[in-house]
Chain A
Amino acid sequence: MKLKTILDLPCGMRFIFSEMEFASSFSGQVLLDSVMNTTPAAIEGSYNELREFLSLYQTSGGSATLEKCRAALLDLRDIRNTLTALESGKVPDDVELFEIKNLALISEKVREILAPVNLKSVNFPDLADVVSLLDPEGHGIPSFYIYDSFDSKLSELRKKIRNSGDESGAILAECLIIEARVREMLGNRLKGSVFGLREALMSLAKADILISKSILTKKLNLTIPEIATGINKYSSVFNPEISAILSRENKTFQKVNIELDLNKPTILTGANMGGKSVVLKTLALSQFLFQFGFGVPAASAEITPVEEIHYSPGDLQDMTRGLSSFAAEMKMADRLIKNSAHGHKILALLDEPARTTNPQEGTALVTSLLNILNGRPVFVLVATHYNVKAKGCARIRVKGLEEGKMNYELIEAGESAPPREAVNIALSLGIDREWLDEAIRVMDEQNKE
């Protein structure tokens, strides 16, 4: 799964990406094209790289070094097509040679800047040969033409044009023939450096990504989590996007603690407006961030790598595929059941599944889903208002209203039915009193029955 495919899931990856400041837009593209890590080793590898850059970024000398790097990376362009063409034997034109020279110069510069800090995560091949080939006069600036020094005849002919003009164009024509020959020679000699150039291009993008991730980690207060097996445990987890919106309004996000066990589904209940959806959204985001090698929004965390992340935000209506929200939800749950039966390790975050159908069938569907998933290698967190009586599930709930104020803390809940706070919350919203009093009366009648 590529990062770009989850960018517009409603878990907030788009926000994270938009908060990243890449020196070159090419690095952003490379990141979007990167594939999600699923093994502990791959995630550990990503985090080791991030740790290396982050610890450098946190020292004052190191952050100055990385700033210098970023300045050099500003002119980095995607020239993969040029390199492929060169490899296949196409004679490069001046614009392509300019691009190659530019890449080699940037790479050599970044290599020089980073040499004293000796980073293990990025490796820049020696491109001094390419630079000296394309910069025969040693100016060290990113400009290019077929220099006089490539062919002794060129300088003579060009001098002639400069001194006495070239009315018929004959001298220029002669120059063009020599220039074409030089380009062919350059193409042939550069062919051997394509591997190195490509490595340099991708290493530069990688360095840019790691610097951007380091800056982001500090900016959003992210943490590098522990890699766990069989448990997902967050302390003081927060949603960076909502947190940013709240802080603009001088409010603070109430951080919460949560723990999920593999093989044991967790049911999350609680009042409306109690932050259940935010918890699911944040856990989905954190899992993606973890598996793409980013810091996660928590004070500390232990996270288990999974192969699939199923996040159902509640309203899955998929107009483009002609599915109603109920159908889309059912399809997703179906995939969850089938894939988990095949032993796929999954994180499933379901926000009020089957809420669009009648409570009786809805409760039955959710209960049976949890019964089936129980014991499979799946982390399941289901937020629901239904009184689900599935066996062997962990139960947590939002603490709820306390003296008219919402406490978003997550606490253990008993087997009993979730507390009914909808009317109280509606009251706090200033909803029509007559209606709510009538609702209380109806509830009392139901209780008597």
Chain B
Amino acid sequence: MPFIQEILGCKSISVVGLEKNTGKTECLNYILRRLPSSGLTVAVSSAGTDGERVDMVTGTSKPEIFLREGILFSTSEKYYRERRLTSEILSVSRKGTSTGRIVTARVLTGGKILLSGHPATEDLKKWIEDVSVSHGADLSIIDGALSRLSIASPAVTEGMVLATGAALSASMDTLVRKTAYTASLIAIPATEIRIDKRGDMPSKGLWRVENDGTMNALEHESSLTAGSILPEEVKGAAAIYASGAVTDRFLNQMQTLLVKEGIQLIVRDFTRIFASQGHFNSFIRSGGVIKVVNRSKLIAICANPVSPEGFILDSSKLCGLLGDATGLPVYDIMKSDYEA
């Protein structure tokens, strides 16, 4: 399987689903099954709660994550108690989540587990660092979420695998279009400005970024009040950093404000962009430049032709169309007859 080779080239990857039931967990299991079983320490965790045995929304059964011997994982105390494998606790976090503190453990005899994880992006980042430094993980895998209100962004990982499928839309055209749009957002290049961020990027407000990378707050609380920014306030800036959500309205306002001046718009990562495809394209076509701070390389797309309601799309046609639209390798992991 070629994309396993690509994954092995990364120190961290995330597997994100475009919608619930698009086969993200299957995809994760699929990758875990195919990673070499010796000579590579793998760590797995999740951004937000995941791995419900039965889907909380649609009531369909969901495959649990199967972890084999030697894999490191982190999950919350509640799910750790419910694990169906033998594992050795290595550390317990200080910070708690709604389902308890995060337990990091090593699998001793393989089995199934529910993963639940880090509530914020910074925790996720720190986890990747910790499992690598303290516990010797060579590859960290994050079970990510896009469709839910997840504060933790999976874009902190080097690589990303996108799971899409019939659950997103019953119309193949819509499914392909939506997936291609997300893929194009993930592909937004990282900014070339070396931002002097002194630690983490600010989590609030709009910021002027100068050519030398220094940042100064604009007197506007959020991207929602950006309409009142005057052209003088942004004149001469190299970029504007928007910490919050990039909506249609915000993008329109930025279009009139930034494009003429050749100022780029920087966001933390692609998950901040909530604008519709039409508005986004219009921004780009008018000459707008949008860049990110954290960028993950999109390695492959996994497509699940089966929807939770029961209808099935034509697998090879779906994979073909998605491949054409995104230029990325596309796999139907349910078929799983690819070469390893």
Chain A residues with CB under 8 Å of chain B are 25, 77, 93-95, 98-99, 142-146, 158, 161-162, 165-166, 169, 172, 175
Contact = CB atoms under 8 A, between A and B. Distances in A.
5 contacts: A94-B81, A95-B103, A145-B89, A166-B111, A172-B85
A98 to B, nearest CB: 4
A145 B111 contact: no
A94 B89 contact: yes
A158 B88 CA distance: 13
Nearest to B135: A143
A162 B70 CA distance: 11
Contact of B88 (A99, A143, A175): A143
Given A94-B80, A95-B77, A95-B80, A161 B109 contact: yes
Query: 10 tightest A-B contacts by CB?
Result: A145-B88, A98-B89, A161-B109, A144-B89, A158-B109, A143-B90, A143-B88, A162-B109, A95-B77, A94-B89
Given A93-B81, A158-B86, A162-B69, A98 B108 contact: no
A172 B109 CA distance: 9
Contacts of A99: 92
Contact of A172 (B69, B81, B84, B89): B84
B86 A169 contact: no
B94 interface: yes
A98 B80 CA distance: 13
B86 A145 contact: yes
Given A25-B94, A162-B69, A175-B86, 16 more contacts: A77-B94, A93-B81, A95-B101, A98-B89, A142-B91, A143-B90, A144-B88, A145-B87, A145-B89, A145-B105, A158-B86, A158-B108, A161-B86, A161-B110, A162-B109, A169-B84
Interface string B289-322: 0000000000000000000000000000000000
- Determine chain B's interface SS by DSSP, over half rule: strand
Contacts of A95: 77, 80-81, 89, 92, 101, 103
Interface in B206-262: none
A279 B90 CA distance: 52
A342 B80 CA distance: 58
Contacts of A143: 88-90, 106
Nearest to B104: A143
Contacts of A169: 84
Contacts of B101: 95
A175 B86 CA distance: 9
Interface of B: 69, 77, 80-81, 84-92, 94, 101, 103, 105-106, 108-111
A77 B90 CA distance: 15
Nearest to A173: B84
Contacts of B92: 77, 95, 98-99
A98 B105 CA distance: 11
A161 B67 CA distance: 13
A359 to B, nearest CB: 45
Given A144-B89, A145-B89, A172 B103 contact: no
**Most B Cβ at <10 Å: residue of A98, A158, A165:** A98
A175 B110 CA distance: 13
A137 B81 CA distance: 23
A59 to B, nearest CB: 33
Contacts of B105: 145
B108 A145 contact: yes
Contacts of B110: 161-162, 165
A180 B110 CA distance: 19
Contacts of A93: 81
A144 B106 CA distance: 10
B132 to A, nearest CB: 17
Contacts of B87: 145
A95 B105 CA distance: 10
A161 B87 CA distance: 13
B216 to A, nearest CB: 24
A279 B335 CA distance: 80
A142 B110 CA distance: 22
Nearest to A159: B109
Contacts of A165: 110
A250 B239 CA distance: 38
B33 to A, nearest CB: 13
Nearest to B80: A95
A25 B86 CA distance: 32
Residue with the greatest number of chain A CB neighbours at <10 A, chosen from B87, B92, B110, B111: B92
Contacts of A166: 111
Contacts of B77: 95
A146 B83 CA distance: 14
Contacts of B94: 25, 77
A238 B78 CA distance: 52
Nearest to A176: B84
Contacts of A94: 80-81, 89
A95 B80 CA distance: 9
Nearest to A175: B86
Nearest to B83: A94
Nearest to A169: B84
B78 to A, nearest CB: 10
Contacts of A142: 91
A162 B86 CA distance: 11
Nearest to B106: A143
Nearest to A97: B89
A94 B81 CA distance: 8
Nearest to A158: B109
A307 B81 CA distance: 50
A142 B91 CA distance: 8
B236 to A, nearest CB: 33
A19 to B, nearest CB: 22
